[in-house]
Structures are given as structure tokens and as C-alpha cells.
Amino acid sequence: MTPPPSGPRRPDLRVRVAGIDLKNPIIAASGTFGYGVEFEDVVHLDKLGGFVVKGLSKDPMAGHPPPRLYETAAGMLNAIGLQNVGARAFIKEKLPRLRRLKQVVVIANVFGYTREDYEDTIEILNEAEGIAAYELNVSCPNTSSGGLQFGSVPRLLDEVVSTARHRSERPLIVKLSPNVTSIAQMARVAEEAGADAISLVNTFLAMAIDAETRKPRISNVTAGLSGPAIKPIALRMVYDASQTVKIPVIGMGGISTGVDAIEFMLAGATAVQVGTASYWDPCATEKIVGEVYEWCVDHKVGQIASLTGAMVVD
């Protein structure tokens, strides 16, 4: 009996980042997805490539007072101030629930004010099971020290990444700031210091003022701008970084549709992170996975990994 003709081949959405196999390239970004457990009743976490938890510090942090969020044209300002429960509480209170989930890749975002802070936080997390990798946040523009300073000075970036690499027992992803003169230079510094991958871009330093009260819209005065407004700049920076380093690049910045994700991959990203879109639609990440799949079907793309860096330049 002659077997029936086979249908079209299902697209293979698998990608590999920093030695970690992801079922697809869509990752929920840190700071917009809580600790993951808050979304398990809204999003099928096992349908995502992975997610990055809120930035974790050695000790709990209260963050900035409100107002901390403000909507702008095609974007959002935020100055949360890296509010978090601390690494130990995360291990005790959040991680056990995440470990019960099957086929879910959990990435821990790590923050510190000093190199020793990063070192201590990583050593605490090293003792816990269920974390696939660390994302080193050296790029937050909403803190009075640490964060942006590490991500904008090559020497400091080299020192903090080298310190983290020395202590880390897991793959190390370095999240870069766009608030620099040369993103390519900072990407190269991170790679040479031992990063297994880089993620970019974090938010752009920005602000808003209420003309009636003459006061800033955000209590911290300045804040980080994210959302569709930053996408063209983020896309260019991902392209610049990917042309410079050999390690995988995770792209982010204004991604809200499957086509956005495809564009970042064509620019050189191996995977992408979705952040602000989750604020207006908590199901955005899962929807984008579906849109990426359909795009690959419509464009007869058998393996999505083949799109990385495949932009055609005449």
C-alpha cells in the first residue's frame, strides 16, 4: 500500500544560546514577567523559549517610590529601581514552584552595586537547582550606583564580567546598555571577559515633565524608555553587536509581534526577549511564539536558526 503523501514540514523553532537548548527563540524579559510564577495561570510557560526573572540582588531592595511608570508616545518610562525579594528569598519562595514546571528554562537576572555584590549574589544562586543561566544586569539606568556605570565604562564592564565569570557555575549572559558611544566595543569587552552570550538593549535613559505642575512625571526624575519607540535603534545596535562578536546575541527593544522578532533575528540575534509588550497584553510572549511559527510556515522556513544574520544587503 502506498503511504499517503506527507504534508508540509513543520518549522523547527529550536535555537541554542550559551549552550542552552531553547524550544523557540522567544524569551520573556526580566522586569516585565515577575518571577514567572505570577504568569503561570495566564501564559503556558512551557510554550516559551524561556523567561528571565526580575533582577535579583544579594539582599532585598524596596525600589523607588511611586510614580514609577509613565506611558509615552509608543513607549513607556519606568524607574522601578530593581525592587526584588533578594536571592535567598527567591530560592526559598519562588524557585520551588518553578522547579515543578516541566520543560521551562529559567534565567536569573543578577544585579549589584559593586563587584562584590554580583559575586555574592551569584554564589548564593549557585547553590540552587533549576536555574539554567545568569543574565548579568550591567545596564539599568534607574539606580544611583552600579548598573549603568558598569555597563558604560569598558574597564568596569571587563572587571564585573570577569568577576562573575570566575564565580559563576552556569552560563553567563551579559545585558548591555544602549547608553554608550559604541555598542560594538562593549559587546567585544563582554565577550573577551568571558560572557557566553550578550543580550541587548536595555532601556534608554529618558524623562518626562508635567508642564502644568512643572514636576517630573517620575519620582526618580529620569527613567528608562522602552517599547516600540526604541525598536529601530535597538535593531541597529543588535546588528552592530552581532557583526562584532562570535558569541550569541539575544535581541530586545520594542518587540511586540512575531515579525518584530524575525527582524531582530535577521539583524543577527539568535533569540529575542519580549518586555514592555507584556504590560499591555500579559499573553504577548505566547502569542508571539505562535506568530513566529506561522511566519515560518508562510515563508517556508524549515529551521528558524537559519534566519540569524540572514539580512540581505545589496
- Please, what's the largest Cα pairwise distance for the chain? 81
Q: Give dist(CA 10, CA 266) in Å, integer.
A: 20
Nearest to 18 by CA among 246, 205, 235, 213: 246
Quick one: cell of 59? Answer: 539582599
How many helices and strands in the chain, by DSSP H and E? 10, 16
Active site residue 283: no
Quick one: cell of 57? Answer: 540582588
Q: Give dist(CA 109, CA 111) in Å, integer.
A: 7
Query: Which one from 110, 140, 237, 267 is the annotated catalytic residue?
Result: 140
Peptide bond into 67 cis (omega under 30): yes
Quick one: cell of 55? Answer: 533582577
63: left (phi over 0), alpha (psi -120 to 50) or beta: left
Write the DSSP assignment of 218-263 as a string of letters: STTSEEEEESGGGHHHHHHHHHHHHTT-SS-EEE-SS--SHHHHHH
Q: Give dist(CA 254, CA 252) in Å, integer.
A: 7
CB 8 within 8 A of CB 302: no
Q: Cα torsion at 262, 197, 236, 243 (round to 10°)?
A: -100
How many CA atoms does the CB half-sphere of 33 hold within 13 Å? 28
Q: Give dist(CA 29, CA 27) in Å, integer.
A: 6
| Catalytic machinery residues | 140
